[in-house]
Structure 1
Amino acid sequence: MTITTAIVLAAGEGSRLRSSAPYKPLCEVGGKALIDHALDGLAAAGLSRAVVVLGYGQAAIRDHLARRTASIAVEIATSDPRLPNGVSVLAAAAHVSGEALLSMCDHLVDPALYARLAKAGSGSGLRLGIDRRLGHGWVDPLDVTCVRTDGDRIVAIGKGLEPHDAYDTGVFAVGPALFEALGTLAEPSLTEGVRVLAAAGTAEIVDVSDCSWIDVDDPPALALAEGWMAQPAAA
C-alpha cells in the first residue's frame, strides 16, 4: 500500500540561513517558501496529509500555514528546537498510524523522489532514499550525511563517514520500528535511530540517484537552489 501521510521536520533554528529569512521554513526559493515547496511537492507525489513539526519561530510559521491554499491536509506537532531531530520525529509519532514518509522542510525535492519512497514503504524497519552520485555539485561534502551500503541494506551512516558509497537525501519511508528505536535512546537523533535499525538489519535503501534534491542549509546552497528553480523544468 502506498504511503499517504508525511512527517515534515521544521523545528530547527536554521541559524545559517538567518541572513536570508528569520525562520528557515519561510526562506523563499524561486519566490516560494521552503515549507510550501515541501508541502506542494508531497501533494504532487500523491500524499494527502502532512504532520509538520514546528519549534523555532512556530507562531510565524503557523500563521503562514494557516494562510496557505490547501494542496495537502496539514496537522501541526511541536518540538524543542534545542533537542536532537529524533525528538521531532517522536513528536509526530502520536499523529501517525502505521507508515509515513519522513522528510525535511529545508530540502528541495523532486516529487518523483517522494513518490518512489511512498510506494516502496518502510519494509521491516525503514527505507532511506540514497543518492550514489558522489561528488555532486549540489552536495556539501562537509555537511551531507554519508551512507555505506551492502546490497539493499544500510551498514553505516553519519557525517564524515569513510568509506561511503552514497548520500542520505533526507527522505525516508518509516514505520513503528523507527519510533520504537528512537524511544530507546537518551538523546534520540534520526541518524542514531537509523543506526539502531541498521544493526538489526532492518534499515534498507531505495536508490533515487536519478532524482533531483538539494539541502538548502546555508547561503551557497540557497544560491544553487535558486539556480535549479530558474531552470524551465524545475518544479
Structure 2
Amino acid sequence: MTGRTSLTIVLAAGEGTRMRSSTPKVLHQVASQSLLGHVLAAAPHGAGSALAVVVGPDRQDVADEARRVRPDAATFVQRERLGTAHAVLAAKDAIAKGADDLLIAFGDTPLISAETFERLRAPLKAGAALTVLGFRAADPTGYGRLLVEDDQLVAIREHADATLAEREVDLCNAGVMAFAGKTALTIIEQIGTSNSKGEYYLTDAVEIVRSMGLRASVIETSEDEVRGINTKAQLAEAEAIMQARLRKAALDAGVTIVAPETVHLAADTTFGNDVTIEQYVVIGPGVSIADGAVIHAFSHIVQAAIGKKASIGPYARIRPGTSVGEGARIGNFVEAKAAILEAGVKVNHLTYVGDTHIGAGANIGAGTITCNYDGFNKHKTIIGAGAFVGSNSSLVAPVKIGAGAYIGSGSVITRDVPDDALAVERNEVSMKEGWGKRFRDKNAANKKPK
C-alpha cells in the first residue's frame, strides 16, 4: 500500500500432528510449493514491507524455507504453545520497531492472495484499529462467528459460547487480522487467558479494541481462500483448488490445455505464447515453456527450460537442469537430466541423455544411452553440432563426439571422436551352425519330470 509501511507476522510453529507426518505441517506442498511458501509469496513485498515468521523450537527446516522463499524474512521461536496471541508476541522485537500496519497470518493457509492482504490494510488507513478477515461458511458449525453492528465488528464469538441466534450467523472468523501499528502492541499485550484452555487468543483483541473506544472492522473473502490445512484430506482439497486456479490462469493467458482436469501445474510455471499442453502432463517446480512449444501427453517436466517451438513427448521425462533449444524434439520414452539440447536437436525415442551437451541439429538414435555415472561420480558427454549417433549406442563419459561425426549403430564409444569422423565399435559376429538345435535336444533329454 503506497506510503504505508507494514510488518507481516506469519505463524508457523504448529507441528500439525493430524497430518500424521514427520514433516512440519507448513512444509507440506501444494502445487510444488510449501504451504508456508505460498503465504510468504502473497505477503507484502518491497520497500517498507517487513516480514517475521514464528517457528517452533528446533525447526531450522521451517526457518530455512522461510528464508529461501523470502530472504528478507526474520525468524522468531515460540518455545511454548500458549495460543495465537502468545505466538505473535514471540516476534515482539519486530513489532516494537514500528510499522503503520501489522498483519498476522498463518503458515497453513496457502490459498490466501496478495490482494486480500492489501484489502485488509485499507480500513486501517481509514482509521480502524483492527481489521478481521471473515468468510461466509457453507456450514459454520465449529467456527467463531463475527458479530457486526452498524458496520463495525463488536465481537468474535466461539461456536461453543454462541447463543442460538448467534449460531445462525454464517459470517465466520478466518483468523487473519491486521492491526494499526501505533496501537497493535498495546492491544495484544492486554490479551489474557480467561478461557477454558488458559491460552492467549488473538480473538480477544476485538473486545480490547472496543474497550479502548477504537474501531474494529471486517472484510470478507471466499471460504476457499482461507482454508487451513490440518489433515492430508484438506491438503488434497487445497491442491485441487490451487490446480484449478493455475489452469484457469494459464488458459486466460492463452495456453491451450487439451484436457485441463488431467494436467498438473506448479505455482511457478511460466508460459510463452501459443503453448500447447496435451493430456496427463505433470509440470513440477522451476519450469519455463517458451512460445509455440508443445508438451505431448503423459510427459513429466521438472526444473527445466523448454525453448520456442520445441516438442516434448509423449511419455517424456525431463529432469532438473535440462534446457531444450528452439525447435528441438524429445520424443516418446526419452529421459533427459542436466542436459543441454541446442536448437533443432532430435532425440526421438527410447533414449537417456544425462549430463550431456548436444550441439545444434544433432540426431540421437533410438536406444542411445550416455553412460554418465561410474558408481561414484557423474561425467559429461559432449556431442557436436550436426553429429549423428546411430541407434542402440552407448557413449561412455567423459567423452566428446565431434561436430558432424557419425556413430555406427550398436557402438560403445569410450574415446573421443573427431569432427566429421565415423566411429564404429563392434565385435565380429561369431556363427555356430546348428548350436540352437543341439542345445534344445540336450536339455530336452535331461529334463526332469515335474
The within-5 A match list for 1:154-193 is: 154-160=153-159, 161-162=162-163, 163=166, 164-174=169-179, 175-187=181-193, 188-193=200-205
CA deviation profile, 1:50-96 (whole Å, cap 9, x unmatched): 11111155222123234x154x6201112134211111111223202
Quote the offset at 1:141 in angstroms: 3.4
**Could you list the runs of 5+ residues in structure 1 that have no partner in the other structure?**
none
Contact preservation (8 Å) 1:48, 1:73: no
2:116 alignment partner in structure 1: 113
Q: Matched residues, percent identical?
A: 25
Contact preservation (8 Å) 1:45, 1:115: no
The within-5 A match list for 1:12-23 is: 12-19=14-21, 22-23=23-24
Contact preservation (8 Å) 1:25, 1:106: yes
Quote the offset at 1:227 in angstroms: 0.9
1:227 alignment partner in structure 2: 240
Contact preservation (8 Å) 1:45, 1:114: no
210-219 vs 33-42, which moves further? 210-219
212-221 vs 25-34, which moves further? 212-221
Contact preservation (8 Å) 1:7, 1:102: yes
The within-5 A match list for 1:40-119 is: 40-43=41-44, 48-66=49-67, 68-70=68-70, 73-96=72-95, 97-98=98-99, 99-108=101-110, 109-119=112-122
Is 1:209 matched up with 2:215?
no
Contact preservation (8 Å) 2:53, 2:73: yes
- In 1, distance between residues paired with 2:76 and 2:155? 30
Contact preservation (8 Å) 1:153, 1:202: no
- In 2, distance between residues paired with 1:10 and 1:129? 19
- Name the one with the larger helix percent: 1
Amino acid at match of 2:118: A
TM-score, normalised by the number of residues in structure 1 = 0.82
The within-5 A match list for 1:22-37 is: 22-37=23-38
SS state of the match for residue 221, structure 2?
coil
**Could you list the runs of 5+ residues in structure 2 that have no partner in the other structure?**
194-199, 250-266, 268-450
Does the C-alpha gap of structure 1 residues 41 and 88 become closer, same or farther in structure 2, counting only changes over 3 Å?
same
Does the C-alpha gap of structure 1 residues 182 and 69 become closer, same or farther in structure 2, counting only changes over 3 Å?
closer
SS state of the match for residue 23, structure 2?
coil
Q: Which has the larger radius of gyration?
A: 2
TM-score, normalised by the number of residues in structure 2 = 0.45
